[in-house]
Amino acid sequence: MINPEEIKSHFPIFNREIKGNRLVYLDSAATTQKPVEVVDAIVDYYYNSNSNVHRGIYTISEEATELYDASRENVSHFIGSKDSRQIVFVRNATEALNFLSYTLGRSLTEGDEILLSVMEHHSNIVPWQFLKEKGVRLKFVDIGSDGNLDLEDLKSKISKRTKIVSLTHVSNLLGTINPVKEIGRIAHENGSVFIVDGAQSVPHMPVDVEDIGCDFMAFSGHKMLGPSGIGVLYGKFDLLDSLHPFMGGGEMIREVSLEESTWNDTPLKFEAGTPNIEGAIGLSAAVDFLRGLGMENVRRHEMELVSYVLQKEIESGIKDLVSYGPREVQERGGVYSFNIGEIHPLDLNRKLSVESVETSAVHPHDVAADLDSYGLSIRSGHHCAMPLNNKLGIVASSRASFYIYNSREDVNALFDALKKVQKAFVR
């Protein structure tokens, strides 16, 4: 079982205070804190083996290469990939999805369709919009009043022109966990490529890409205890190997002449230039840390926390507190998005402008700023999901997101502070 207090001892940042209060960090959906094991792995590389990879035949270069290649193997095993060549290191999930828009988009033509959903992060919408100039059409699967994806709507919108289905595994606003294995089956029966945005799932639950059957998956290291600037694109090898390089330069080539070039083997042909060596090493250390806890335990801990959050929501008595997403903890991740104001969370067809929001509502930025005075760190805004906000009929929300170092005491601190916010702002 997860022991948050013991886990916190691995994270130096929890030794500090914020404005005289202990730090209660509730923004792990944006980025996670880093344990000493990850920091030490990066420092050790810089102190002892700092050099470029795949190029030097001297000792520390060979050490760096071994560490970098071992990191790829470690990440591959962590997500159930049976071939480390299916792992491409990128900057983050956003770059991975842009990679796919560029490379897969090269073969799309006017009238082809891409199926997304209204709950997508902007990173899984904007890159596909780039293809509209080629005449590619985007379709969006709707959600039901419970915040779950409408599978019947998906089935009605997928067509023989649908070349790509790209969906989030877990919504970063609603916390909704989508049935990606079932969706993948539908996509493949239709002959579509199936992409999963795993940014909010890989850090929080067991993920097996072979079992899911997805063609591609994207996720970020910084959301799973790793450093910033390192992410992963997983792809089935035959599909990945068939793609054109995303960027050109050193490392990704086999031969270069003034007239033409040939490419290195997959995945190196997609990793132009000096890679984020220390980032890969740090991500591997993060994988080791999570594997030591057991991803089943990580998932169980977050389910218990979310269940407690929903219980406290009812018991708090906070006037006009509304939240968004499924009510069943089995259907949602460790995300709690909410507003203080008379905006009903399940009236999904209602659309409000900034001017029409009731005056009793407390702006999410005010909520976040006030909570910071009590040492609580939460997110406020549209959470890079403006289409979903429009669907929900809100302009923004506050979001508390939980991870392995959060406890029931953190949840209590959140609701105690929200009572003070409600009392201070709502008359």
Which of the following is catalytic: 384, 387, 390, 419? 384
CA 373 to chain centre: 28
pLDDT of res. 411:
98
| 51-61 confidence digits (pLDDT tens) | 999 989 999 99
pLDDT of res. 99:
98
Architecture in CATH of 294-425: Alpha-Beta Complex (3.90)
**d(Cα 225, Cα 403) in Å, to the nearest integer?**
10
Residues 275, 276, 280, 285, Cα dihedral to 10°: 150
pLDDT mean over 353-366: 64
| 126-164 confidence digits (pLDDT tens) | 999 999 999 999 999 999 999 999 999 999 999 999 999
Q: Is 214 a catalytic residue?
A: no
pLDDT of res. 352:
37
Whether the pLDDT of residue 424 is over 90: the answer is no
pLDDT of res. 423:
87
Whether the pLDDT of residue 356 is over 70: the answer is no
Spatial CB neighbours of 327, under 8 Å, sequence gap ≥ 6: 146, 310
| 251-274 confidence digits (pLDDT tens) | 999 999 999 999 999 999 999 999
Whether the pLDDT of residue 427 is over 80: the answer is no
Whether the pLDDT of residue 357 is over 50: the answer is no
Whether the pLDDT of residue 342 is over 80: the answer is no
- pLDDT band for 361, please (50, 70, 90 cuts): confident
Architecture in CATH of 37-292: 3-Layer(aba) Sandwich (3.40)
Q: Which residue from 101, 54, 48 is spatially nearest to 273, judged by alpha carbons?
A: 54
Q: Residues for the chain: how many in total?
A: 427
Average pLDDT over the chain reads 94
pLDDT of res. 341:
83
Domain coordinates in residue numbering, the chain? 37-292, 294-425
| 190-232 confidence digits (pLDDT tens) | 999 999 999 999 999 999 999 999 999 999 999 999 999 999 9
- pLDDT band for 360, please (50, 70, 90 cuts): low
pLDDT mean over 294-314: 98
pLDDT of res. 192:
98
Whether the pLDDT of residue 250 is over 50: the answer is yes
